[in-house]
Structure 1
Amino acid sequence: MKTHHATAQRAAESAKAQESAGVRLDKWLWAARFYKTRSVAGEAIEKGRVMVNEQLAKASRTVRVGDMLAVRQGDCPLARRILVKGVSDTRGPAPVAQLLYEETEESRCAIAAWTAARPYQADPAQSIEQGRPTKSDRRKLVEWQRWSVSLDDDAPQ
């Protein structure tokens, strides 16, 4: 238990030292345990799944205490609204990481409602009638596509 306490203390000291300077967005998301690796956090930022103060951000953007983040994770279409309460560029234990942010009450309620309604939503896999095409089905499709040229394709331009 001693090592856990020492690690938490070092992480807290590191966070206090960086609060004034701020830290890169991808490092903060990794340290706060929103994403498993920095590269995954960078990909999410690049895809526009993370916003800082209602603006799209780059991975190199500096996060400071008081910033409001919107983070979309997994297959949930809703973004978690998060207030930055501390900054750290080191990934510590989960209890320490949870001290770096506070999720808004509206965000928590909206995601809880979406999670509760999720089992009743349509499953995309149910729309597939037959599964994957067989080899003969693919051959028929290719043959049909080869001979079904429209008149517009041959018209001179």
Structure 2
Amino acid sequence: MRIDKYLWCVRYYKTRSIATQAIQKGHVTVNGQAAKASREVYPTDKITVRRDQIKYLITVLDIPANRVGPKLVDIYRKDETPPESFEHLELLRLSKEHYRAQGTGRPTKKDRRDLDEYGLDIDDDDADE
């Protein structure tokens, strides 16, 4: 089975065309080598998929006849992605939320002035010491 079809069948990508685009961009490797969308996948192949800033490590266990339901995906692949990858993604999400709340838009002039005053206050305190 082609690798783009396999990744679509085991639900790593929503459509085959999205899977093909990811492969063309170099986000997918098979056994450590860059893959083309037409590359055949066999059981015991190791696939690395980079998606959403996470490198998923997959071992092919079997080839599905067609797209399978989410509950049946584990029959056809073994996910060996280290848990640290998901922790790293969570830290990135939290760091973005720390600076500015989601949906608040660009900083206003008042926000910028407050930041400038805050920066000046710190410098003034350092000069006094």
Pick from 21, 24, 34: which aligns with 1:43? Answer: 21
User: Relative contact order: is structure 1 or structure 2 higher (C-alpha 8 Å, sep ≥ 6)?
Assistant: 1
Pick from 75, 100, 116: which aligns with 1:99? Answer: 75
Pick from 111, 119, 122: which aligns with 2:93? Answer: 119
What corresponds to 1:143 in structure 2?
Answer: none
**What amino acid is the match of 1:114?**
H
**What amino acid is the match of 1:120?**
L
Query: How far apart in 2 are the matches of 1:108 and 1:65?
Result: 21
Asked which structure has the greater CA Rg, the reply is: 1
**What amino acid is the match of 1:99?**
I
Q: TM-score w.r.t. structure 1 length? A: 0.58
User: Identity over the aligned pairs, expressed in percent?
Assistant: 31
- Kept in 2: contact 1:27–1:89 (CA 8 A): no
Unaligned runs of 5+ in 1: 1-22, 131-157
| 1:68 is aligned to 2:42 | no
Query: How far apart in 2 are the matches of 1:95 and 1:43?
Result: 26
Runs of 4+ in 1 over 3 A off after TM superposition: none
What corresponds to 2:36 in structure 1?
Answer: 58
**What amino acid is the match of 2:84?**
A
Query: How far apart in 2 are the matches of 1:54 and 1:118?
Result: 27
- Kept in 2: contact 1:83–1:101 (CA 8 A): yes
What corresponds to 2:64 in structure 1?
Answer: 88
- Kept in 2: contact 1:28–1:89 (CA 8 A): no
Query: How far apart in 1 are the matches of 2:49 and 2:37?
Result: 13
